[in-house]
A and B are shown apart, each in its own frame.
Chain A
Amino acid sequence: MTVYLLCILLFLIGLYGVVAKRNLIKIVIGLAIMEYSVNLFLILVGYVKGGTAPILSRNLANKVFVDPLPQAMVLTAIVIGLATTSLLLAIAIRLYRKYKTFDIREIKNLKG
């Protein structure tokens, strides 16, 4: 149970980074931490104690398998996370070129 709670704690740390940090890059890192914690959670959901990779062979000594479906889901989620993070960083670089700063307190043309 502890490990699940630690995983949720990691999610909350990432959320704190997104909400409280003022630097664009730190916000991106916060989002990345949130994403890793969700991926870790998915892996934990599929984990079975003492399980091995679910490959059937003739002389199976161990009949306990981990659940492969969350692993497939995590692979997909990692690819999606790559797309999101790279787009975010690209936008952050463009913002830096326009505003000459990473501080979100300086970047506030839009309001109302």
Chain B
Amino acid sequence: MDWFVPLFVIVPLGGAFLIAIIGSFARPFGRFFTSLVLASLIGLTLYVIFSVTIPIVYMVGGHGPIEKVPIGITMILDGLSVYLLLIINLIGFFSAFYSISYMKKFTSENYYYTLFCLMVAGMNGVVLSGDVFNLYVFLEMAAISSYALVAFGIEKEELEASFKYQVLGGASSLFILLGIAFLYWNTSTLNIADISRVIGTTANSEFVKFVGVILLAGFGLKAAMIPFHAWLPDAHSSAPSPISSMLSGVLIKAIGVYVIFRLFFNMFTISYDTALVITTIGTLSMVIGVLLAIGQWDIKRLLAYHSISQMGYVVIGVGIGMLVIAHNGPRSVAALSIAGGLYHLFNHAVFKGLLFLNAGAVEYETGIRDMKKLGGLSSLMPVTTSTSLGASMSISGIPPFNGFFSKLIIIIAAIQAGYYVLSILAVFVSIITLASFLKVQRFTFFNKPNEKWNRGDFNVREVPFAMCFSMVFLAVLCLGLSLFIVPAVRDIFITPAVNVLLNSAVYSTGVLGY
């Protein structure tokens, strides 16, 4: 019962192929087919969550291990992969549906949808891959399509941002490849589970630290953690808005943070040093990201800086769990902390995706991104305003929304684990986030109306149906995800993912079977 595992990669890859061919004859084909592809992937993910026992190990081409040596490529569908697949395909679907209206003003739409499908295929491949080199190939697939999508507007800013992104992204990919070469040199295998077994038995701690640093630099650049963040505000603010929402909502998680968690929990043995480094990087991202964000006047740039800060929450959530495990502390605290981090990962994907779509709607109607020149849009664009208000309350942690619960869990876990400074910093950052989103709401939507909105060349009104649909559904999800706090719902979605990270040694034995 594992035939459907490669479908997560094959369906979007085939979709990209079909759109590139059929789309050049029939222009609207790509528009609707992309949404169809992503809707079917959501269906497949929900089928996996509700009616399949995971983990599943799929051997590509049926090449199983020979004399206990894994020789083929493996794809592994476990709790954490399914959780990420749900996030990728959900945000991907809403972005693709939003693009139906948003991308009409661009030429060569079918290239856009082809690259979109390729990016989704790459990200799905990264979260399913059980093999470091295969992971690298899928990662490059997602990264190269994202470079091209950032430059899609081909104006001055887009090209500059894309060049910066490509140079830093290319350098980070080469660091990753170098790390993989070192791993293969010392362990003679590429399978993550097998590498974990070899590292566990013939431990050379100097080597493990060296490779760990190289890989952390590579994936840290992909995830835009703070010392490596320079490309993110440019790239995420210059891309077309649905792509910004994919990049900020999903890409930095799927090819950055997810891989860091997977490698440092399941491949390397957890040590206090790496846990400390990861938590420190997370804390720096959380604090410095928000301080850089508050001074911004470009809406999308402000949102991009907040992505750095919110990913800091995710990383400290999981990092505290790692520290507790390294100390042999109480497992319930580690579980709570990791659950908080992963819960915030989902929440951030939803509310940041929504906020970028809102910024896109404002830009679509007015053509302006500078908040000083906006104002008074609340009466003209009621749907955009109300959904944006929901997302802003969610990101700054106002009670009934999902962001409140995940931040609360992380803060409680930090207190229980004894990291009081971290919990105070988390509260402090949340307050600054609230302040900067009050600024967004006031200057964009609620200030006194700008007279020029009703004059000739502006004519601002509510955005078309496809854009409203995506925004409303994501806003409903902002409230709906609060249900993850209910134990019965939590056990279906988050607990399997937490268990993969918590029982980190089980991964290796589960995949290898001995």
Contacts and interface: CB of A to CB of B under 8 A. Distances in A.
Interface of A: 11, 15, 18, 24, 27, 31, 34-35, 38, 41-42, 45, 69-70, 73, 76-77, 80, 83-84, 87-88, 91-92, 94-95, 98-99, 107-110, 112
23 contacts: A11-B174, A18-B167, A31-B170, A35-B174, A42-B177, A42-B184, A45-B181, A70-B184, A73-B133, A73-B184, A80-B144, A83-B140, A84-B140, A84-B144, A84-B147, A88-B170, A94-B154, A95-B160, A98-B155, A109-B160, A110-B160, A112-B295, A112-B298
Given A92-B163, A112-B301, A83 B144 contact: yes
Contacts of A110: 157, 160-161, 164, 234, 237-238
B148 interface: yes
Contacts of A83: 140, 144
B159 A88 contact: no
A24 to B, nearest CB: 7
Nearest to B143: A84
B412 interface: no
Given A73-B133, A107-B160, A109-B160, A88 B184 contact: no
A24 B148 CA distance: 17
A16 to B, nearest CB: 12
Nearest to A19: B171
A96 B177 CA distance: 30
Given A34-B171, A45-B181, A99 B156 contact: yes
Nearest to A98: B156
B178 interface: yes
B166 A84 contact: yes
Interface of B: 133, 137, 140, 144, 147-148, 151, 154-157, 159-164, 166-167, 170-171, 173-174, 177-178, 181, 184-185, 190, 233-234, 237-238, 295-296, 298, 301
Contacts of A18: 167, 171
Contacts of A34: 171, 174
Contacts, number: 91
A11 B178 contact: yes
Given A24-B163, A95-B160, A110-B160, A80 B140 contact: yes
Contacts of A31: 167, 170-171, 174
B171 A15 contact: yes
The binding surface of chain A is classed by DSSP as helix
A80 B137 contact: yes
A95 B181 CA distance: 34
Contact of B185 (A45, A76, A88, A109): A45
Instruction: Tell which of B164, B181, B190 has the most Cβ of chain A within 10 Å.
Output: B181
A95 B238 contact: no
Instruction: Tell which of A11, A18, A80, A110 has the most Cβ of chain B within 10 Å.
Output: A110
Contacts of B185: 45
B137 A45 contact: no
Contacts of B154: 94
A45 to B, nearest CB: 5
